Structure 1
Amino acid sequence: MKLQLITIDGPSGVGKGTLALLLANYFKLNYLNSGSIYRAIAYLSEINNIEVSDTEDIISLITTLQIQFPIEKNNYRIICNKKDITNDINNENCATRASIISSNTYVRKSLVSLQRSFFQEPGLVAEGRDMGSVIFKASKIKIFLTASNIIKAQRRHKQLKQKGINVSLPHLIEELDSRDRRDVSRKISPLVIPNDAYVIDTDKLTINEVFDKTLKYINK
């Protein structure tokens, strides 16, 4: 039986993670959240007092990095070097550090083989910024999600409030805009819509509607 591979790409706040988890549960596939890999590196660099611009030391962290994403119902945990860091990396400081680190050409190249190693039996749902355009370019099922800046910020604001994290909406809009600019302008693996991707504008859709549209596309 041929392994199934589904890639989901898009900017922050469009619902990639939720959709990817729903698909991984539905099809009983492995799950890769590439953004959490960069957040894990951001977290490790911070606790080891490594500057985000220190390429050599960050790549040194990557050489010993072990990371898994075990799924628990409709959520997942991030196990990094045998430690659960799920709650440690879910903050705006870590997200900002990760965004800067992810724009480093050498760091991105160093992580290619690690990300590809997740594609094993019974298959994989991979979500991020360059899953369909670079990491799994041969994938036959590529989804790209979009949303307006205000909607993305509102969604992120709601997520953070539910976790007891208070951040102003204007600040979030500014942060997301900065991340998007870095993502689309970096020299290697910029955020682009793959030519063969199915694009879904999630602005006016619930996650269940996005899931249904994706299933119809996959099963057509």
Structure 2
Amino acid sequence: MNERYPHRINIAIDGPAGAGKSTVARLVASTLRYVYVDTGAMYRAVTYVAIARGIRPNDEEGLASLATGLDISLLPGEEGQIVLADGDDVTGQIRTREVTASVSLVSANAGVRSRMSELQRLMAAAKGVVMDGRDIGTHVLPDAELKVFLTASPRERATRRFLELGDKPGVTLDQLEEEIALRDRMDSERDIAPLRQAPDALLIDSTGRSIAEIVDEIVSLGLAAAQTVGAREN
């Protein structure tokens, strides 16, 4: 428990690919001195290891078996969160386009989701966690004291990804927008834990807004929710 923010809650931030969830969640956690859990990175780590071991994205049994025996850790680093898979640093490898193209299929696997959800709930058990993903408020942490559904227009999300790729992106902006639209559809239509806004989640559209604005808004909401929890405890 920290002295500035004594009442700890869990904050769930859901939304589609490229909405800024990871950046916003990390900054909110830093401001509140909470633990940041990037669930997308966990699914990407499973996807990367599956590709490296020759396990196809549609191999349900192979993926489930892999996830069950895979040790994934999220550690703080000077330049952001470090992702370890069986002790190996895979932080850079999980952000390739090859991983991005397969992660929706891998994350739709029942065995993979079950194991990752189990690990994520353990991380949040002590409270004081900011967790982002696609089913945190609806499935992983349905009792989170604050739930946010963060979105942005497909074009804006594609533009952000395009800029992240640097001077030689190897893909056009239109192609990225098509890929994002496809991933939105796959995430929303999957049978297991689909992308949905929780009924009690606050919708925040980040289109045309700065990261700082969004972070300030969610921090204020988090402090208000924590005060409510504190009043009940007292």
Match of 2:33 in 1: 28
Gaps of 5+ in 1: none
Instruction: Say if 2:116 is the partner of 1:111.
Output: yes
Alignment of 1:16-95 (within 5 A): 16-73=21-78, 75-95=80-100
Instruction: Say if 2:183 is the partner of 1:179.
Output: yes
Gaps of 5+ in 2: 2-6, 225-234
* Whole-angstrom distance in 2 between the partners of 1:72 and 1:15: 20
Match of 2:138 in 1: 133
- Number of residue equivalences: 219
Match of 1:124 in 2: 129
* Whole-angstrom distance in 2 between the partners of 1:166 and 1:21: 28
User: Are residues 131 and 122 of structure 1, via their aligned partners in 2, closer, same or farther at CA, if it must alter by over 3 Å?
Assistant: closer
* Whole-angstrom distance in 1 between the partners of 2:81 and 2:165: 17
Q: 1:10, 1:146 within 8 Å by CA — same for their partners in 2?
A: yes
Match of 1:158 in 2: 163
Match of 2:228 in 1: none
- The secondary structure found in structure 2 opposite 1:78 is strand
Q: 1:105, 1:187 within 8 Å by CA — same for their partners in 2?
A: no
Q: Give the TM-score taking structure 2 as reference length.
A: 0.88
Q: 1:160, 1:167 within 8 Å by CA — same for their partners in 2?
A: no
Q: 2:19, 2:157 within 8 Å by CA — same for their partners in 1?
A: yes
Q: State which of 186, 193, 214 in structure 2 corresponds to 1:189.
A: 193
* Whole-angstrom distance in 1 between the partners of 2:79 and 2:215: 13
Match of 2:207 in 1: 203
* Whole-angstrom distance in 1 between the partners of 2:202 and 2:79: 24
- The secondary structure found in structure 2 opposite 1:126 is strand
Match of 1:6 in 2: 11
Q: Give the TM-score taking structure 1 as reference length.
A: 0.93
Q: 2:9, 2:145 within 8 Å by CA — same for their partners in 1?
A: no
Q: 1:21, 1:74 within 8 Å by CA — same for their partners in 2?
A: no
* Whole-angstrom distance in 2 between the partners of 1:123 and 1:73: 21
AA in 2 matched with 1:137: P
Q: Deviations over 1:199-220 (max 9, x none)?
A: 1100010000111111222223
User: Are residues 115 and 197 of structure 1, via their aligned partners in 2, closer, same or farther at CA, if it must alter by over 3 Å?
Assistant: same
* Whole-angstrom distance in 2 between the partners of 1:114 and 1:130: 14
Q: Deviations over 1:121-168 (max 9, x none)?
A: 462111000011110000111111011100000001111227x64321
Stretch deviating more after TM superposition (28-37 or 43-52): 28-37
* Whole-angstrom distance in 2 between the partners of 1:74 and 1:42: 23
Q: Name the % identity.
A: 34
- The secondary structure found in structure 1 opposite 2:178 is helix
Q: State which of 217, 220, 224 in structure 2 corresponds to 1:216.
A: 220
* Whole-angstrom distance in 1 between the partners of 2:166 and 2:179: 16
* Whole-angstrom distance in 2 between the partners of 1:3 and 1:174: 40
**1:38 shift after superposition:** 1.2
* Whole-angstrom distance in 1 between the partners of 2:220 and 2:78: 23
